[in-house]
């Protein structure tokens, strides 16, 4: 029952990644930020705990070598909305808890992942809240039908995203990590650069 850290990643093509950020700072700087995060995050987290690191990539047909990111395994995200894609690891990974993160949270450290898996020992789900009302991490035990934070519609990229997921988990034990900033727009990008 080895835990799995799943990192969601897109093919690093200019104009197709960090599009909201690109509107504020330009396509090239947004692309460079994404490439830097994609290279750094798996390297920073892989092998730093008892978890196996898997990159879940989009589009499905792409060759994982295009990511230039080191992981223990690579899987396609598949179709559906973000919730369906984030729940899919329960179908193809071996038994055990899993945590899903994206590639736009520069402050994620190994201790965050360790804490998430520790909390899953006594909780059904764990979230890392983001300052914008979403979340930078979601972790689930291996019973996604019983603890599915996406079973009813969720407003993605919305100030109520996390609230929608929590409403779907009513009656379940949910834990929280610290709040971090996801870099999605020019304001969050500038704040991250100032605090480096």
Query: Going from the N-terminus, what domains does the chain have, and what CATH number goes with each?
Result: 4-194 (3.90.550.10)
Model confidence at 6, in pLDDT bands (50, 70, 90)?
very high
Average pLDDT score, the chain: 91
The candidate with the shortest Cα–Cα distance to 116, out of 127, 107, 131, is 127
Q: Yes or no: say if 54 and 73 are a contact pair by the CB < 8 Å rule.
A: yes
In order of 8, 10, 109, the CA distances from 60 in angstroms are 12, 9, 27
How confident is residue 143, by pLDDT bands cut at 50, 70 and 90? low
Q: How confident is the model at residue 72 (pLDDT cuts 50, 70, 90)?
A: very high
Assign 195 a pLDDT band (cuts: 50, 70, 90): confident
The residue-averaged pLDDT of 44-66 equals 92
Quote the pTM value.
0.92
């Amino acid at each position: 029952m080895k835990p799995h850290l799943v990192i969601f990643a897109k093919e690093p093509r200019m104009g197709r990644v960090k599009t909201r950020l690109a509107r504020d700072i330009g396509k090239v700087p947004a692309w460079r930020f994404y490439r830097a995060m994609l290279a750094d995050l798996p390297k920073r987290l892989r092998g730093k705990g008892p978890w196996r690191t898997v990159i879940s990539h989009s589009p499905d047909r792409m060759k994982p070598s295009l990511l230039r990111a080191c992981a223990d395994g690579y899987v396609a995200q598949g179709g559906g909305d973000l919730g369906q894609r984030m729940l899919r690891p329960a179908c193809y990974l071996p038994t055990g808890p899993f945590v899903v993160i994206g590639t736009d949270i520069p402050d994620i450290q190994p201790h965050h992942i360790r804490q998430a898996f520790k909390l899953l020992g006594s909780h059904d789900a764990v979230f890392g809240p983001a300052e914008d009302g979403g979340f930078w991490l979601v972790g689930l035990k291996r019973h996604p039908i019983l603890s599915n934070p996406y079973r009813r519609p969720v407003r993605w990229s919305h100030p109520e995203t996390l609230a929608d997921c929590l409403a779907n988990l009513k009656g379940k034990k949910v834990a929280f990590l610290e709040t971090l900033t996801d870099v999605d727009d020019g304001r969050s990008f500038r704040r991250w650069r100032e605090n480096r």
